[in-house]
Structure 1
């Protein structure tokens, strides 16, 4: 599952983990991304110390067999920088999770000030979508965070149908609190989802953003709208 940050991505990971037949992996390339780029993210040193920061090793693990029938990987598109392998992606099913850029920017800015456009993953997501579409000869599955929140049962049932796996009502709820599969960064980023036991209700009007943040949202909008046509 490919998204940028603040895209409902952790809640959707919790949803798949709640199935009972699915292993999950939280942002496999995060430590490698931090080591390769030197970007000063919150908890940077703790993340690199706690997780595999070798991108080749991580890529190999992404395609290894698991005892569980399903293996859900929560990936951030912005992590696929130079030096991170992509050939492993041909051996998995790639799905793209999108959210309106104004909502992404507003949520991200509450956790980390002054993001750049590349911090938000919109362009990287569109590039990865195009790359996968070329391999497949058709668009890969796209799911909208807004659709999940507006109607979790119907949207997840359609997503499962696209993945050729059965839908189960267990995907609609999970226990509150931290999870054993959370990444080391969870204390900074996951306070809201740790308080949840299911998907929040549909969101209201788009947030009003300061001019600098609105420019970021405006930059992301064409990439979002292009993928939204396939959702």
Structure 2
């Protein structure tokens, strides 16, 4: 599952973990990304100490098999972590799905946790690049799921996704226990406060958030990438967000 940050990605990971037949991996390349780029993120040193920072070892593990003998291996990937030089060959052995969210909602949420995000931080450019690469491999657009649809009707959205993935849908995907999870990355204490308080997907979102001028410019930069993925996946870029 490929998304930028603040895309409902952790809730989606919790939904798949709740199935009972699924191992999950939280942002496998995060430590490698921090080590390779030198970028300053919250808990940078703790992340690189607690998680594997070798991108080749991580890529090899992403090929499977799924841990603990599970039938399904759900990997929550951040698009911005797949920097130049990291092996993407493992993606050919996976079914790649793209989780998207309106840039205004992403920017508003991200800025609450880390001020001054840039276009590179929120992952839309990288998501479009990965989307194109997978589409080229497949000869068609890969699967896309929009967080707007998940929040509007979680059951229908997840049932449709499971059908696309040729997996049985289970009602267990719609809820999970509150609190931290054993498979959370160490960064959860900074980023996951809201989802730790949840026991399922939230209610449909209201109007798009009001943003300061610099953040509105960032949204304008990201919108063409978001809208192109919508359009090329056969979805309506003019639908409510």
Q: Specify if TM > 0.5.
A: yes
Q: Distance in 2 between matches of 1:200 and 1:185?
A: 22
Match of 1:29 in 2: 29
Whether 1:53 aligns to 2:46 is no
Can you give the 5+ residue segments of structure 2 that lack an aligned partner in the other structure? 236-241
Q: Report the TM-score, using the length of structure 2 for normalisation.
A: 0.95
Q: Distance in 2 between matches of 1:223 and 1:117?
A: 11
Other structure's SS at 1:188 match = helix
Q: Please list, as runs of the form range in 1=range in 2, the aligned pairs for 1:78-157 lying within 5 A after superposition.
A: 78-157=80-159
Q: Distance in 2 between matches of 1:154 and 1:38?
A: 41
How far off is 1:139 after superposition? 0.4
Q: Please list, as runs of the form range in 1=range in 2, the aligned pairs for 1:1-231 lying within 5 A after superposition.
A: 1-66=1-66, 67-229=69-231, 230=233, 231=235
How far off is 1:64 after superposition? 2.0
How far off is 1:211 after superposition? 0.7
1:41-68 alpha-carbon deviations (Å, 9 max, x no partner): 0000000000000000000000121210
8 Å contact from structure 1 (residues 55, 83) kept in 2: no
How far off is 1:109 after superposition? 0.2
Other structure's SS at 1:110 match = helix
Runs of 4+ in 1 over 4 A off after TM superposition: none
Q: Distance in 1 between matches of 2:173 and 2:59?
A: 27
1:168-194 alpha-carbon deviations (Å, 9 max, x no partner): 000000000000000010000000000
Q: Distance in 1 between matches of 2:70 and 2:83?
A: 30
Instruction: Decide which moves more: 214-223 or 11-20.
Output: 214-223
Q: Distance in 1 between matches of 2:140 and 2:75?
A: 22
Residues matched between the structures, number:
231
How far off is 1:226 after superposition? 1.3
8 Å contact from structure 1 (residues 99, 146) kept in 2: yes
